[in-house]
Structure 1
Amino acid sequence: MQERMGRRIVFFPLPLQGHINPLFQLADIFYSKGFSISIICTRFNAPNPDNHPHFTFHTIDDGLSEEDATMKDMIALTIKLNETCANSLRECLSEMLSSGSAQERVACLISDAMCYSSQAVADSLNLRRIALRTSGISAFASSLAYPLIVEKGYLSMQDTEAMVPELPPLRMKDIPKVKSQVPGLYEELLSHMVKATKLSSGLIFNSFEELESRSLATVYQDLCISIFPIGPFHKRAPSTSASLLTEDRTSISWLDEQGPNSVVYVSFGSLAAFEKDDFIELAWGLANSGQPFLWVVRPDQGQGPGRFPDGFLEEVERRGHVVGWAPQREVLAHPAVGAFLTHNGWNSTLESVCEGVPMICLPRFSDQTINARYVSDVWRVGLNLEKSIERRAIERAVRSVLLEKEGKEIRARMACLRNKASECLDEGGSSSESFGTLVNRIRSF
């Protein structure tokens, strides 16, 4: 580990699991380069500082009521956090700036792009802010195009197969659908995020050039700021956990007993939920496939026998393992895992690419439909069920990827993509070069 260089970077995450993980990975990467790290976090979903003893933590008042903290509307919650945290964030940063020594001054703030109000806070303190977008580059390109999507009336065509002319290879049904209690709130959030990002001193992506070159060119064209695709973060960050849920280690011991490439790993992230009928279809699809499976059913989704259809647990007793949460990176790297049935959140998609595991895509909302389209139609490393939760479709997809010729062809393409994900981090690789440029930029602040 390098000695501290006398420069500190302050990180501010959006307090949702899928946003916390990549930000902490990025913080670890900068720490390994000699920067000191401070994390400003909200009381809501605060990570455990004991897991990161090399960081300095500051907790601010998030202004959320008990009712706010249980909000199911993630769009409304994100906007609320931007409104209620701004003053507390300003006070915390101001104190850090005034109390910092000449030997270790704050270089910049790196905050989640969805924490858009942090840009005005940083500006008021004459502090440089770099935005971190935790989605893929292709999903961000669609965010930039969202006003055009609205203007052209594409939202009324979201159930059709028609192509989006301005965003190939996306179809109208791939345009992100995000439920909110208030009409127009999603567009408002994207507008705030894009405007603040354009005012920032740079934009970081947890992706790499070879994976999303066309979308990267589009974003370069639309933004007049520096862009740093320096992922995949988790391949160069230590394996410390920022998980808000307890990982069940029996996942690994169970996998140890399975044959190579024989298991389908099933997980839909920290937020996606299923109606009862869909859950039953998913369960019987896995059972009828005849293949071993490791299934993450979160505690909030219910894990008791009454949650599963009658006869299911008896049917899969010897070849199915259900856990509340799994150490996903370790699971995907396990030689027994031959397929990943996923919601296609960006973290999951990228982790699957890095481990060379073919995907069966069952996107639920937000950027997941975009990621799934790229998996199936551009990179051709998975099958896209396109939200179709029907037992026969799930059974066919699992058997196809694990047992049939199509699965072998997908696995071969995935192996090539996995190699590119590794090579981009080597000396002279695209992500390595981009990260070097970013480090030099921050040192110059």
Structure 2
Amino acid sequence: MEKTNGRRVILFPLPLQGCINPMIQLAKILHSRGFSITVIHTRFNAPKASSHPLFTFLQIPDGLSEAETRTRDVTLLITLLNQRCESPFRECLTKLFAESETEEEKQRTSCLIDDSNWLFTQSVAESFNLPRFVLCTYKFTFFLGHLLVPQLRREGFLPFPDSEAEDLVPVFPPLRKKDLSRIMRNSRQSELLDSYLQKILETTKRASGIIVMSCEELDRDSLAESNEVFTFPIFPIGPSHIHDVQASSSSLFEPDQSCIPWLDKRETRSVTYVSLGSIVTISESELLEIACGLSNTNLSFLWVVRPGSVHGRDWIESLPQGFIESLDEKGKIVKWAPQKEVLAHRAIGGFLTHNGWNSTVESICEGVPMISLPFAWDQMLNARFVSDVWRIGIHLEGRIERREIERAVRRLMLGSEGEGIRERINALRDEVRRSVQRGGSSSRYLDDLVDRILSF
């Protein structure tokens, strides 16, 4: 039985796969330090409670219609959730505290930890005199930088002429202006976005601290700059998935476990793993370009195509007739994969990725070089760090063309350029893995976080 410290922590994840994963990983870390864990979650994308029997799960209604749960507009989805979840969340906390039989038991709840994209939780926490920590699921460089976008717009920095597309964004390096343009491409919603980002900044400043799913080794510069924005402690305790805690899945999708025996039959570092994450959608023509690019390499690949990720199609039925048969064991396409297990497999030699932060860090931790194909939001910045700063991958620069994909895979898997990339990512992997070991930077910050929570 786990040793308990008699304290409870309440966690409230945003119901997106990339936000649920780090929150559940944090829950496991804190549970290993003796905390009781209560997870409040929405009906939409509810985490699988059966996978985490030691935690208490409390579901609240989110008011989303079936049509709204299918939207591809993540900004709209988050806006709707913020509009409709405040009252149910407050009622859940009220009931949770009322069920405590004594004042002493009420005091056992130490704090609330929730996602930075929840805008109402700070006010609710304050009404219960409950300290709140913000969980940053982005690279901290992006978290700091994206809060400055309203300022950039006020100062006339946005928009900018096409001739400056390759220039660096002065307050947001190593992002280029063309990357920022893709992040902010829907200018009609700029006023709404600016207001939303301003509220994130305001509510975060009133919190008790920020927990960052990164480490000093990956975010040193931005962490050093954080005291210019925030006056409270920052706790970079990541990467959370390699802390020495019990493994269990927090995936919203059922992984195809046949990936692993298939990989077992492949040669070491011979397979390119391809996955664009849990949210990205592509067109039929882009699906075809990726398929042909991978096939034309004559190298092995494992490709995740999430059902519903191709516009207007259920899955891969728009691929040419006979394409799957033509692969002849060279390629495998699945609906979802056990990604951490796949990236750790000896057969994987490269990762064609959208560069979501979870995927990027998981790839670094296994020393797998990347081919960057970012689509939106923080993916743009993560890809720039991969290609331009750490130099551990190749950037496709948004080109979803078969010749470009074939060329990038060959450069990474077969050329001397790929060997140099592999040496650099192996060195970075070792640094990052040391951070969570006893005495490492993340381990020390975790100790500080535990002490801070226990002080309430």
Same fold (TM over 0.5): yes
Counterpart CA distance in 2 for 1:80 and 1:290 is 46
Asked if the contact 1:158/1:173 (under 8 Å) is kept, the reply is no
Deviations 1:305-351 (A, max 9, x none): 63213453233232000000000000000000000000000000000
Q: What amino acid sits opposite 2:176 in the alignment?
A: R
| Cα 1:31–1:374 shift into 2, 3 Å | same
**Structure-1 residue corresponding to 2:228:** 221
Compute the displacement of 1:71 (Å): 2.4
**Structure-2 residue corresponding to 1:212:** 219
Compute the displacement of 1:279 (Å): 1.3
Among all aligned residue pairs of Structure 1 and Structure 2, give the percentage whose two residues are the same amino acid: 47
**Structure-1 residue corresponding to 2:405:** 394
Q: How does 1:35-46 map to 2 (within 5 A)?
A: 35-46=35-46
Asked if the contact 2:357/2:379 (under 8 Å) is kept, the reply is yes
Asked if the contact 2:150/2:197 (under 8 Å) is kept, the reply is no
**Structure-1 residue corresponding to 2:384:** 373
Q: What amino acid sits opposite 1:133 in the alignment?
A: C
| Cα 1:385–1:369 shift into 2, 3 Å | same
Q: How does 1:66-77 map to 2 (within 5 A)?
A: 66-77=66-77
Q: How does 1:172-251 map to 2 (within 5 A)?
A: 172-175=177-180, 177=183, 182-236=189-243, 237-251=245-259
Counterpart CA distance in 2 for 1:158 and 1:124 is 47
**Structure-1 residue corresponding to 2:299:** 291
Counterpart CA distance in 2 for 1:386 and 1:178 is 17
**Structure-2 residue corresponding to 1:409:** 420
Counterpart CA distance in 2 for 1:218 and 1:390 is 39
Asked if the contact 1:158/1:172 (under 8 Å) is kept, the reply is no
Asked if the contact 2:350/2:371 (under 8 Å) is kept, the reply is yes
What are the ranges of 5 or more consecutive residues in structure 1 without an aligned counterpart? none
What are the ranges of 5 or more consecutive residues in structure 2 without an aligned counterpart? none
Deviations 1:85-137 (A, max 9, x none): 11111111122223335257110000011112111110111111100011111
Counterpart CA distance in 2 for 1:72 and 1:343 is 16
Asked if the contact 1:284/1:312 (under 8 Å) is kept, the reply is no
Compute the displacement of 1:179 (Å): 6.4
**Structure-2 residue corresponding to 1:3:** 3
1:356 to 350, 367, 374: 367
Q: What amino acid sits opposite 1:113 in the alignment?
A: S
**Structure-1 residue corresponding to 2:32:** 32
Aligned to 1:11, the other structure's residue is in SS state: strand
Question: What is the TM-score of this pair, normalised by structure 2?
Answer: 0.94
Q: Does 1:165 align with 2:170?
A: yes
Compute the displacement of 1:277 (Å): 1.4
Asked if the contact 1:369/1:386 (under 8 Å) is kept, the reply is no
Deviations 1:173-221 (A, max 9, x none): 2226166684533323222212111110000110000111112122232
Compute the displacement of 1:274 (Å): 0.7
Between the two proteins, the alignment pairs up a number of residues equal to: 445
| Cα 1:167–1:257 shift into 2, 3 Å | same
Asked if the contact 2:305/2:316 (under 8 Å) is kept, the reply is no
Compute the displacement of 1:166 (Å): 2.0
- Across the aligned residues of Structure 1 and Structure 2, the Cα RMSD in angstroms comes to 1.7
